[in-house]
């Protein structure tokens, strides 16, 4: 297992041990960890259905394909596109000064923030999202390979 982890992560083999923390010692991010776990799951027939990668690793940055980001970009674009004609109409109708257009367009910022809040209700994060980071060691990977399932159950921490 140590050799395989070294090969996949490109970490020096001599730097790895059973207590090596994949996040702290190898600086793996969520995407890198998912790749490592997927390869090991395939090779060792490990059931990873219970793994919560976000409890162990950073997400490695914002994914532009995540529903929250798409929702926010869609809302910002919608309000930006709609604000220009609405501001022009209101300025012409009520005889507002030219700077009124910018003021009305600026009012879209709170609308986008409300839109983002609605998005957080539609796409909620797991209840334990901000919990304490749980380390994953190479020993955990060895246990997963032996047991053919993820060894961390998150309620009682370890199943074995």
Instruction: Quick: pLDDT tens for 15-41.
Output: 999 999 999 999 998 889 999 999 999
126-137 per-position pLDDT tens digit: 665 667 889 999
Lowest mean pLDDT among 1-15, 97-111, 112-126: 97-111
Determine the angle formed by the axes of helices 138-147 and 2-9, rounding to 10 degrees. Answer: 120
- Among residues of the chain, what percentage have pLDDT more than 90? 38
140 neighbors 33 (Cβ within 8 angstroms): no
CA 123, CA 133: separation in Å to the nearest integer?
22
Provide the 3-class DSSP secondary structure of residue 21: strand
H helix and E strand count, the chain: 6, 0
Q: Number of C-alpha atoms within 13 angstroms, CB side, residue 24? A: 9
Ordered alpha helix ranges (H), 46-159: 67-94, 99-106, 108-122, 138-147
Strand partners, 149: 47
Look up tokens 């199943």; give the residue: 159
Neighbours of 138 (CB within 10 A): 21
Domains, in order of start, for the chain: 2-56+133-147 (1.10.1200.10), 67-122 (no CATH)
Both tokens of residue 95?
């005889």
Name the band, by pLDDT with cuts 50, 70 and 90, for residue 109.
confident
């Amino acid at each position: 297992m140590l050799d395989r982890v070294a090969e996949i992560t490109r970490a020096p083999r001599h730097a790895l041990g059973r207590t090596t923390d994949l996040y702290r010692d190898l600086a793996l991010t969520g995407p890198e960890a998912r790749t490592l776990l997927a390869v090991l799951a395939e090779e060792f027939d490990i059931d990873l259905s219970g793994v919560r990668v976000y409890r162990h690793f950073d997400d490695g940055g914002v994914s532009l394909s995540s529903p929250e980001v798409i929702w926010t970009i869609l809302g910002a674009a919608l309000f930006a596109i709609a604000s220009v004609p609405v501001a022009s109409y209101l300025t012409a109708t009520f005889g507002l000064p030219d700077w009124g257009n910018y003021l009305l367009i600026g009012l879209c910022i709170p609308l986008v923030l409300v839109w983002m809040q609605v998005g957080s209700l539609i796409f909620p994060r797991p209840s334990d999202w901000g919990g304490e980071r749980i380390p994953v060691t190479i020993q955990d990977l060895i246990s997963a390979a032996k047991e053919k399932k993820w060894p961390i159950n998150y309620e009682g921490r370890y199943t074995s």
